[in-house]
Each structure stands twice: as structure tokens, then as C-alpha cells.
Structure 1
Amino acid sequence: MPHSTSPRTAPLWLSRSQLAPLPDASTLDWLFDEGSLTRRLTRLSNDGFSVTPLFEGWQTLRADECAALDLAEGSEGWVREVYLRGHGQAWVFARSVAARSALQGDGLHMDELGSRSLGELLFSDKAFTRRAIEVCHYPQQWLPPESSAPELWGRRSRFDRGALSVLVAEIFLPTLWRATRAHPENC
């Protein structure tokens, strides 16, 4: 079951220039890092990185996702929710979505990724361009119950290739921050 129950109000996704007050420098660095999060987590975990799929399937996209993808509200898309793990610990909850209309016939088989990283695929295909990163305190109701916590930082960005757009949201869990403090040399 996807973790997309709607909160009373959707989060306000902000650019770096709109953030006030700013989070600490380490958090900012992770939130606005333009490189591959998969590669960074692999480095932090000293190659102990893995992906655990939680949900994959077609569903109605949330209103904020439709707006970010320039879709009509209520559009259907492919939803993929996973944990990005270091040494078996869930460090990041990620939710990626793409419109059904754009995926059909595009050749990106999000439904066949399994435990492979979508981020690695997006960063290895030079045809994808990444739009600006936006951040928010991710709604607690949108997280899996075992990771549910208030005020967790999340970020999202849109990757475009022709008519295909994939919106990737990554929510940083407290276990990630503990790992960065324990191994600052790998950050």
C-alpha cells in the first residue's frame, strides 16, 4: 500500500533562496547536493548500500505531484516507493512518480527496477536533465508507519527526457543523520 494519504494541507516545496530559517550546513549540503544520492549513500555506507521496494504500481497522483509534473489534477501515474539503505538501515524514504501517458512507449521500465536504484539510472542516462531541487518538511502522514516522524526534511526534483518527466522525492530519515555523524569522513 502506498504511503500517500493526504494531509489537511500539502507541503510548501521551497527553493534554497526561499528557506527561512535555514537548516544547519550539513543538512543544507545533503538537501541541495546536485549529484547522485545513490552514489553518496554508497560512499557513506562503504559499499553497504541497498534498495528495498515498498510499493510499485499505478495510482492517482497527489495534487502536488500533478502540479510539479504539469499534469491535470487527478492524473494517473506509476508510483514507486522504496527505502534507500546503508548496512540494512533505512536512511532515506524515496517516492518516484511519472505520468502514465509519458511512460507508455518511452522505454523507461520503472516497473522492472526491483531492487535497482532509479537514481543511478537517471544519472547514468545523459538524456535526462534535472530541474531545480525543492525542499520541505515532509508530511508525517506520507511516510511509512515505521519511519513516521514529524519535521523530516525532504527534497524533490524533476528529471526530464523528451516527453517523459519523473518526479523523485527523497526524505532523509534520522538514521541517516546518525550515520553522517558517525562517519563524517565518508560524507
Structure 2
Amino acid sequence: MSNRNARSIVPAVRWYRSFRQARLNHPGLQGTAAFWLQAEGSLTRHLQLRCRQHFHVEVANEGFSLPTRDEALTLGIPHRQRAWVREVRLCGDGAPWVLARTIIPLDTLSGRGRRLRHLGRVPLGAWLFSHREWSRGPLQAGLCREARPDEPHCARRSIFTSHDHSLLVGEYFLPELLAQPL
């Protein structure tokens, strides 16, 4: 599926270098949101363990597109350089729990990285954590700007690297997930 001009499903976010920095600016950031923003390892695996019945991925947008200026800067790529952009909904028990946006620079799509364009409904997290050459950098925490009640209020992102390749994964937590007890 390639939606080159599709509207992004993720909101604008104010990013902080760490959860600690986000919490200093927003002391109310605690409880369930704090747990998900700091969860170590594969978010996909954490979500699968939370499901009572079924976990699945819905692909919303996928194709070559321009990353935002902030995404390009974070990845260290030219602002006007196209990248493979993948947006999905991670759903548990029939409801969307997380929106995810991945930016994959062109050079990362070479060699073994070619497979990243063909994940379909396979969770990216499952793929990344099953390939040991990929490692995650520090998590950044974010607060969504002008979020409506049914939209994400907080998010996290990190860069994954493998040798000289990288990609950026952003995960936006929906109220349906944050309302669940831990």
C-alpha cells in the first residue's frame, strides 16, 4: 500500500530528551502514562501480553514521503529527502491502543533493510527485536499538542541503529490504553 499524499494519523508533539525532562515540565505525567512512556524492550510484546483475546496491526499509511523537519533533524538526514514512512495502529482486543509512525531513510532500505518496505501487518517491533543487529537508542518522551479526548496525549520515540543504518520509531498512546489499570 502506498499513500504518498495521505494525511498523517499522528498529532503534533512537543518532544523532550527524556521522561524525566518531560515530567519536570508536566508534573502530572504519572501513573499509566508514565509506565508506557518508560516501558523497556518491545512495546509490541508488552501490548500482546496485555491482550485478553487478540492483538493486530492495521496499516494506515505506508510509502515514500517527506518526514517532518524535526524527524529529519533527529535522524540526521536532509530535510527535503524522502523516506519510507509507515503509520500503523497497534490494536488490542479490537480497539486501537497505540498509533505508531516509523521513518526509514533511503539508505536503510538497502541490503537486508529492503524487507522493511514489505512488513504489511507484521509489527515492526517484533521484526526489530528479533534481529539482534538492531539496537535502540534512548527514549524521548513527548506531549501531544491540542489533543482531543479520543487522540493521543503522550508519546515516545527512539532511534534504532544497525551498523551505519538507522530508523526512527514514534509511538503515540491512545486514551483507550491509558485508561486500563496496570
Q: 1:91 & 1:100 partners in 2: Cα distance? A: 29
Q: 2:30 & 2:10 partners in 1: Cα distance? A: 29
Residue matched to 1:169: 170
Q: Percent identity?
A: 30
Specify every segment of 5 or more residues in structure 2 that has no aligned partner in the other structure, as ranges. 1-5
Q: Any idea what SS the aligned residue of 1:116 has?
A: coil
Q: 1:35 aligns with which of 41, 46, 60?
A: 41
Q: 1:100 & 1:74 partners in 2: Cα distance? A: 12
TM-score of the superposition, structure 1-length normalised? 0.83
Post-superposition Cα deviations, 1:88-109, rounded to whole Å, max 9, x if no partner, equal 1000000011111221234342
RMSD of aligned Cα (Å): 2.4
Residue matched to 1:24: 30
Question: Contact 1:77–1:100 at 8 Å: present in 2 too?
Answer: yes
Residue matched to 2:161: 160
Post-superposition Cα deviations, 1:23-75, rounded to whole Å, max 9, x if no partner, equal 11332121011211111111111351100000110011111111111112122
The aligned amino acid for 1:29 is F
Specify every segment of 5 or more residues in structure 1 that has no aligned partner in the other structure, as ranges. none
Residue matched to 1:3: 8
Post-superposition Cα deviations, 1:163-182, rounded to whole Å, max 9, x if no partner, equal 2211000000001122x22x
Matched residues, number: 174
The answer to whether residue 122 in structure 2 is matched with residue 116 in structure 1 is yes
- Change over 3 Å in CA distance of 1:61–1:29 after alignment to 2: same
In the TM superposition, what are the counterparts of 1:86-125 in structure 2 within 5 Å? 86-125=92-131
